[in-house]
Amino acid sequence: MKLTMIALIASVFACHGATVTVDTASVLAEVPPTLYGTGMEDVNHEIYGGLDAQRLYDESFEETIPAQVIPHAPKGAGNKTCGRQWTDISTDGGIFALDSTVAHWGRSSQMLMPGTGTAGVANRGLNGWGIPCREGKAMTGCLFVRGAVGRLEVKLQRQDGRITYASETLPVQACGDSWTKVAFSLVPDVTDPAARFLILASGGGKIWIDDAYLADMPTNEFGKIGCREDIVAAFRKQGLSFLRWGGSMVNAPDYLLKNMKGERRPYEGFWFKTSSAGFMVREFVRMADLMKLPCAFSIHAYDTTEDAAELADWLKSFNGFICVQIGNEECAGLTPAGGKPVLADVRRYCENLRRLVTAMRKANPKLVFAGAVMWQQKHMDLMEKTFRLTDGYVEYWDIHVGASDVNCGNGLRNSLSAFRKMITRINPKTTMKAAIFEENSFIHNMRRALAHASNLAAAREFGKFLLTSCPANALQAYAQNDNGWDQGQVFYTPDKAWLQPCGWAQQMASANHRDLLVAGRSDDRDVSVSATRDREGESVVLHLCNPTAVDKPVRFVFQEPGLKLAKATSLSAHSLEDRNTPDDPDRISPVDATPTFLSAPMLKPYSYTVVEFRR
């Protein structure tokens, strides 16, 4: 009899595997609709060379000053050098030379003196990948010129230069000694995913060129504000509900609001010695406005009050939620080697934050603000000091969390709980809340997708105390990893953009958002569950993760009757290390698992599954 009972129990377990119990009447928190964010910064060419519609790289001829070693690379990541992006195409004695005494913007320009031959330079875009052009689709651009030559042409050509797809002669004979902006349009007669752009002078004379620009002819409003349209489409595919702009690029000395006005110009960046101020805060805000999404962006913590107030006034024309973060990861090096915590740095930062927030809020009362002192529980005395100095000035504290482990939600719970406990102990009436502007990792594979799902499950438990949770980084150039942050949600090459598993996980979570977190648990320690429902109780959604290498049969028990399975969507992979490639961009993407779940519910190995029940 005993053996029969054991066999029966084993049979039931084998049949059901994990039992998920849900009590829809037990409401635990209200889930903010802004939870599903993404965080972007110019790391691994996320912006300049990526989101920025500019197809040329080193548009201002700055990298031709001796190749620079990328600073700030994490230990063990390895440093890369920036190579020259322009190639000399001169013939028959034509002279191509860098001139560091004459420049439109930046430190240098290119001088072309064709003599009896030609003098020219060619650009193949970021990493020399090539510039995609499509038959009959116009590309527009401009460049600044000074001096005069007999003839100046711009061309789209095959990489080897033997075939020209489009060309235009520019009116430069009377430019003289002042810089003149010359616009052009090129319509290629073939499609080539990896063309080159050529500027070619002939007919004698001497001319300087600088600040060249080439982009696809805009086909929508995003293109018109300088976005690469296919990348924006990939962002939108995720169903994002919040956008964050910032990160370590904000710490560059030249990352100042005064550099973000007027013409495109080069500046010395944090991650790359040569960067461009062509697509920055103002363009980001316009993009968020077009996407109809709330957003947050960072300004330099020691920018001027006048420039900050001017920006705040400009922001009045936007009606959406805009959060301004003052700085990024400020005072992160709180304990120098062998030294004590640096209290003075925290105080100096907080005093400056108060100055900037006061000026911006006076100019634009609609704005909200976030602080940027790096949250570190091991320095609670300094965290308390920071809170006391910023309480009432900022609405949010940016807390960064990890996103590499499939159970990383436990770390998020720990950090947010400690933060909430600290601020409510000091000021029980405080209105300050938390925002996770960076979920950081070093991976972009299936493990990252499950880590993000784990973080979202933990984030829901804090309800509206948490504004958003933004995986970093929003975007990454394919095979580009200069600094260890190999974590893009969207990857791109010159002619395509596609989602990595974490981007698909975000899409699944966002598409199945419900307002209320309810009680749910799994009796299998390897299977996690986060249960939500709508306010009316007509729809219940379960977010389930199986990070193991085996199938997990699952059965569902609801405390209230009347719910029937309506839909199941699953994201799974062959291993935690699987990712999507340009040759197979949808290899790991959501599939309809409804038929399986209607017959024999099963969680695949290495999977994130969303199941909806309806009354």
Query: How do residues 330-381 score in pLDDT, each as one tens digit?
Result: 998 766 555 666 777 899 999 999 999 999 999 999 999 999 999 999 999 9
pLDDT of residue 338: 53
Alpha-carbon distances of 550 from 422, 449, 502, 605, rounded to whole Å: 41, 18, 21, 5
335 three-state secondary structure: coil
Q: Give 72's pLDDT tier (boundaries 50, 70, 90).
A: very low
Q: Is the pLDDT at 8 greater than 60, yes or no?
A: no
Q: What percent of the chain has pLDDT over 90?
A: 83
**Which of the two residues, 98 and 335, has the higher pLDDT score?**
98
Lowest model confidence (mean pLDDT) among 263-277, 377-391, 431-445, 582-596: 263-277
Question: Domain 86-216 has what CATH class?
Answer: mainly beta
CB atoms within 10 A of CB 567: 17
Question: Three-state DSSP class for 119?
Answer: strand
Across the range 177-197, mean pLDDT stands at 96
What is the chain's mean pLDDT, rounded? 91
Residue 110 in contact with residue 86, Cβ under 8 Å?
A: yes
Would you report the helix, strand and coil content of the chain in percent, each value rounded to 5? 25, 35, 40
C-alpha pair distances (Å), 529 with each of 146, 279, 452, 519: 65, 40, 14, 10
Q: Which CATH number fits domain 33-52+219-516: 3.20.20.80, 1.10.3720.10, 3.40.50.300, 3.40.50.1970?
A: 3.20.20.80
Residue boundaries of the structural domains of the chain: 33-52+219-516, 86-216
Q: What's the pLDDT at 84?
A: 66
Specify the pLDDT at position 335: 63
* Residue 162: count of CB within 10 angstroms of its CB: 7
Predicted confidence at residue 17, as pLDDT, reads 85
Residue, of 95 and 175, whose pLDDT is higher: 95
Helices (H), ranges, 377-485 = 380-390, 409-426, 446-460
Tokens standing for 338? Answer: 């062998």
Instruction: State residue 409's pLDDT score.
Output: 97
Answer yes or no: are the C-beta atoms of 203 and 147 closer than 8 Å: no
Residue 83 pLDDT grade (very low, low, confident, very high; cuts 50, 70, 90): very low
Q: What residues contact 11, with CB distance under 8 A and at least 6 apart? A: none
Alpha helices in 109-241 (DSSP H): 221-224, 229-237
| 457 — pLDDT class (breaks 50, 70, 90) | very high
User: What local confidence, expressed as pLDDT, does residue 466 receive?
Assistant: 98
Within 8 A by CB and 6+ apart from 46, the residues are 40, 473, 474, 475, 476, 477, 488
pLDDT > 70: percent of the chain? 92
Cβ(520)–Cβ(29) below 8 Å? no
- pLDDT confidence of residue 16: 55
Candidates 39, 28, 9; CA nearest to 435 is 39
Those residues whose C-beta lies under 8 Å from the C-beta of residue 337, and which sit 6 or more positions away, are: none
Average the pLDDT over each of 77-91, 314-328, 508-522, 552-566 and give the range with the smallest value.
Answer: 77-91
Q: Is 190 helix (H, G, I), strand (E, B) or coil?
A: coil
Pairing label, strands 86-88, 118-123:
antiparallel
What is the pLDDT, as a whole number, of residue 555? 96
What's the pLDDT score for residue 266?
92
Mean pLDDT of 432-439: 98
Q: pLDDT at residue 130 above 50?
A: yes
Mean pLDDT of 94-100: 87
CA 148/CA 65 separation, integer angstroms: 24
Pairing relation of β-strands 192-216 and 109-113? antiparallel
CA separation for the pair 368, 210 (Å, rounded):
39
Mean pLDDT, residues 309-329? 97
The pLDDT, as a whole number, for residue 177 is: 84
Q: Categorize the per-residue pLDDT at 78 as very low, low, confident or very high, splitting at 50, 70 and 90.
A: very low
Mean pLDDT over residues 575-594, rounded?
A: 97
- Is residue 99 very low, low, confident or very high in pLDDT (cuts 50, 70, 90)? confident
Helix (H) or strand (E) holding 440: strand 433-440
Per-residue confidence at 552, pLDDT binned at 50, 70, 90? very high
Query: Residue 3: its pLDDT value, please?
Result: 35
Q: What is the pLDDT of residues 249-307, one digit of tens each?
A: 999 999 999 999 888 999 888 988 888 999 999 999 999 999 999 999 999 999 999 99
Question: 127 pLDDT band (50/70/90 cuts)?
Answer: confident
pLDDT tops 70 at residue 328: yes
Does 73 score more than 60 pLDDT?
A: no
Residue 10 has pLDDT above 70, yes or no: no
Q: If we measure between CA atoms, which residue out of 308, 306, 307 comes closest to residue 326?
A: 308
Element (H, E) at 435: strand 433-440
Examine the pLDDT at 81 and tell me if it is beyond 70. Answer: no
Whether 151 contacts 202, CB under 8 Å: yes
| DSSP β-ladder status, 490-493 and 496-499 | antiparallel
